[in-house]
Amino acid sequence: MAKYIYEHKNWTDFTWDDKAINRVFGEVRLMQGKIIGQMNALGFAAKEEATLTALTLDVVKSSEIEGELLNYEQVRSSIARRLGINTAGLVSSSRHIEGVVEMMLDATQRYQLPLTERRLLGWHAALFPTGYSGPYEIEVGRYRTCEMQVVSGAMGKEKVHYEAVKQELVKAEMNKFLNWFNNDNKLDPVIKAAIAHFWFIIIHPFDDGNGRIGRAITDMLLARAESSGERFYSMSSQILIERKRYYEILQKVQHSTGNITEWLEWFLNCLKNAMLATENTTQKILHKAEFWKLHDQTPINERQRLMLNKLFDGFEGKLQTSKWAKITKTSSDTALRDIKDLIEKGILIQKEEGGRNVNYELTDFKLE
């Protein structure tokens, strides 16, 4: 079996081929500037909306990578409350979701602060407020004191994918990592984000939650790279799409002698794809912002505002009176009145399906 990277002397003296990564690195830096420029042109409310969407996706998708499905609306509401963003239809969220959101916001909104052991242990405790991961009791708010293997397969036929740094070395390895993280300012923060992610995952300092904390560390450095806590794209969403390759590359490079070119290439391309995906989202947010600008003086009640925002954010299925009534917790008569009012204002149109299948859509609009 090939040696693990950490079994080599001075294993954290990583090397890479600049020529191999320069093109994609340049593209990533250019796209970051472009996205920030586009967003700054959007105005305050739309920028808030974009940040809220990106952070919500980041939290939801980072947990989904680990096979855990969080409620999108609960996550969104928790982030909106903490950032003081006023959005209609906030819902309350579970203690677990509050903890995950707390960690992500601490990483992205307080990105300038040093990353300390105490802060990391706080993140870990926030991720596991009950002291359990699923049905299993785990060591929470401290580095692991047991050996750690990443294993798959049925009992008796397990396959070991990775064996992490020995537990007695975790503290020393983490001290070295944190010292580098806080004091090495020679590297570009985007490259540093890629290295930090890999380095942290190799140490695997916790009993559980290493992937999510590793991705929070990445987001923290990306926020530093942009000197902004506003997030407009979600790296975790893209990692989820490329999950198979993510694990393949990690598995391959964990056996290298210190050359991490392949990992950096993959990471930068993944980041580029995350930013390409956000261009689509930006168009939607722009469209929504233009609509509200156009209807700045139009009398619209809270129920109508809630439903119109849902239509802009990607409403599932067809909009019918019954759905309107259910979502706004009102009677069918009131729902129909709300809808007819918006048709008269030229905001909604009735689709040409007769009978019981009457449904409604937003009209196309253009700013004068």
Domain coordinates in residue numbering, the chain: 5-287, 301-362
For the cut 90, the answer to whether the pLDDT of residue 307 exceeds it is: yes
The strand pair at 159-163 and 348-350 is best described as unpaired
User: Does the domain formed by 5-287 have CATH 1.10.10.10?
Assistant: no
pLDDT of amino acid 193? 98
pLDDT of amino acid 353? 65
pLDDT > 90 fraction of the chain, expressed in percent and rounded: 78
pLDDT of amino acid 188? 97
pLDDT of amino acid 331? 96
Within 10 Å of residue 289's Cβ, how many Cβ atoms? Answer: 19
pLDDT of amino acid 367? 54
For the cut 60, the answer to whether the pLDDT of residue 368 exceeds it is: no
pLDDT of amino acid 365? 75
For the cut 80, the answer to whether the pLDDT of residue 54 exceeds it is: yes
What is the tens place of the pLDDT at every residue in 131-146?
999 999 999 999 999 9
Q: Which of 176-179's residues contact partners 24+ apart within 8 Å by CB, and which partners? A: 176/12, 177/12, 177/203, 178/115, 178/116, 178/117, 178/120
For the cut 70, the answer to whether the pLDDT of residue 355 exceeds it is: no
For the cut 70, the answer to whether the pLDDT of residue 341 exceeds it is: yes
Q: What is the mean pLDDT of residues 331-344?
A: 96
Alpha carbons 252 and 197: distance in angstroms, whole number? 15
What is the tens place of the pLDDT at every residue in 159-186?
888 999 999 999 999 999 999 999 999 9
Cβ atoms of 210 and 201 closer than 8 Å: yes
- Quick one: CA torsion of 60, 62, 63, 67, rounded to 10 degrees? 120
Q: What is the mean pLDDT of residues 331-337?
A: 96
DSSP symbols for 227-295: T-S---S-HHHHHHHTHHHHHHHHHHHTTSSSB-HHHHHHHHHHHHHHHHHHHHHHHHHHHHHHHHHHT
Give 162's strand partners: 150
For the cut 80, the answer to whether the pLDDT of residue 119 exceeds it is: yes
Two domains, one topology: 5-287 and 301-362:
no
pLDDT of amino acid 265? 98
For the cut 80, the answer to whether the pLDDT of residue 108 exceeds it is: yes
pLDDT of amino acid 354? 61
Range with lowest mean pLDDT among 172-176, 199-203, 221-225, 353-357: 353-357
- The reply to whether the predicted model has a pTM over 0.95 is no
Architecture of the structural domain at 301-362: Orthogonal Bundle (1.10)
Range with lowest mean pLDDT among 37-41, 134-138, 291-295, 320-324: 37-41
pLDDT of amino acid 351? 86
pLDDT of amino acid 340? 96
Q: What is the mean pLDDT of residues 141-159?
A: 90
Average pLDDT across the chain, whole number: 93
Q: What is the mean pLDDT of residues 52-79?
A: 95
Q: Please, what is the Cα angle at 6 between 225 and 212, to 5 degrees?
A: 45
Phi, psi of 248 (to 5 degrees): -60, -45
